[in-house]
Amino acid sequence: MNSSFTSNAMSDDSIAIRIQNVTQRFRVIHERPDTVRELFSKFSKNRVSYHFFEAVSGVSFEVKKGEIVGLIGRNGSGKSTLLKMVAGVYKPTTGNVIVNGTLAPMIELGAGMHHELTGRENILLNGLLMGYSKDLMLAREQKIIEFADIGDFIDVPVKQYSSGMYMRLAFAVATEVDPDILVVDEILAVGDFTFQEKCFHRLRNFRESGKTILFVSHSMEQIEKYCDRAIVLEKGKLAFSGLPAEAVKAYLGGEAEVGEPLLVETPAPRG
């Protein structure tokens, strides 16, 4: 199989993310053995019935530095799988994912956090997992705490957090460490309206400083309001890539034919 995930290896310096004919294939088992031991025994004897499912199939696109690009599509269309490939969680079955710059992923609520540790302790843990130094995280700790605005819960084990508290802390860490690329799944949807506005204000500032954002949203208003470009996925395939309003129209109206992507020329990123 020809597949790879590459970071900081790109000839065109204007491109932050390049997805090249990427496919992510999963094995779906038709039966459910009672124990892991039984499962491995059946695998070794070739007695397990399964089929392959392509969550993402032959997708190609590029994200320029300084762009905010939205991913939209129905549940099961491959959006989260694609983000996980960009973040390096999954290695594509075939194709290439090339990332140019440091990346902070927010692709699963609570990912990277230890439930027994406090919020303050998880700030350091998250930073270390993303490759930042202890000194850097300690220097930025207070700004992260102030942005998250969860009060005394910062010194409470995160297993006691609500989903909104998780999101506040995760977003504060991811955006305060100043990565080149931010990858965000639908987790912003769990925050209240005021905090969502606070987050998108930070995203705008983040983007205006030349950073890149790739995010999934089911809010067509957010897609049209904040994105430079939007991509529609349908059944794992790229169905549309173009201006946000046109992408929303294609998504809601079902105008994009799967397997024959509609590509619309877009202007350079704003700013």
For the whole model, what pTM was predicted? Answer: 0.77
Residues 123-181 have pLDDT tens digits of 999 888 878 899 999 999 999 999 999 999 999 999 999 988 988 998 899 888 888 99
pLDDT band at 31 (very low <50, low <70, confident <90, very high): low
Share of the chain above pLDDT 70, in %: 78
On average, the pLDDT of the chain sits at: 83
Residues 85-109 have pLDDT tens digits of 999 999 999 999 999 999 988 887 6
pLDDT band at 38 (very low <50, low <70, confident <90, very high): low
- When pLDDT is averaged across residues 189-203 and rounded to a whole number, the result is 81
Rounded to an integer, what distance in angstroms lies between the CA atom of residue 269 and that of residue 271?
7
Residues 42-83 have pLDDT tens digits of 555 566 666 788 999 999 999 999 999 999 999 999 999 999
pLDDT band at 36 (very low <50, low <70, confident <90, very high): low
Rounded to an integer, what distance in angstroms lies between the CA atom of residue 163 and that of residue 153?
13
Residues 205-217 have pLDDT tens digits of 888 888 999 999 8
